[in-house]
Homo-oligomer: A and B are copies of this chain.
């Protein structure tokens, strides 16, 4: 479990109030293996705080993501997107607006695995170049 004073300092440094719910949510995420969904986190947190609301878990997961205290696995859109481009390519993904634009494969050096992962048959390697797109950068300057 995350120490109380450490958690307070961490929240302070991110401009967040250090609430009991936040401490338990944060500690729960840190204790989990894999890549949990808010619903799974909610199930785990409920064992410590039975009265907690799913909305509070969502609110705080999003607050942690926005503040940088937690990261998200994928920066893609949440909903299904179809790929009409059949050429071999990768993507530029904006971490602010989640816009996705194509990037020719030749813009990246040769990709290869040093060791083959055991029990996993590799079919393709997809690269996301993450960052801030021009539109979002412009908005940032004008603020």
Interface residues in chain A, defined as those with a beta carbon under 8 Å from any beta carbon in chain B: 29-39, 41, 61, 65, 70-84, 86, 91-92, 94-95, 100-101, 103, 106-115, 117, 119-134, 137
| Chain B contacts for A83, CB-based, 8 A | 35, 70-73
The quantity of this chain's copies bound in the complex is 2
- With A29-B84, A109-B110, A109-B114 given, name 11 new contacts (CB 8 A): A33-B84, A35-B84, A71-B86, A73-B91, A74-B76, A103-B117, A120-B132, A120-B133, A120-B134, A126-B128, A127-B127
Contact of A111 among B72, B73, B108, B114 (CB under 8 A): B108
Q: Is the CB of A132 within 8 A of B123?
A: yes
A119-B133 contact, Cβ under 8 Å, with A61-B82, A73-B82, A126-B128: yes
| Chain B contacts for A30, CB-based, 8 A | 84
Contact of A120 among B31, B75, B131 (CB under 8 A): B131
Q: Is the CB of A81 within 8 A of B35?
A: yes
A78-B80 contact, Cβ under 8 Å, with A92-B120, A127-B126: yes
| Chain B contacts for A71, CB-based, 8 A | 82-83, 86
A73-B61 contact, Cβ under 8 Å, with A29-B82, A114-B109, A130-B124: no
A80-B38 contact, Cβ under 8 Å, with A92-B117, A126-B75, A128-B128: yes
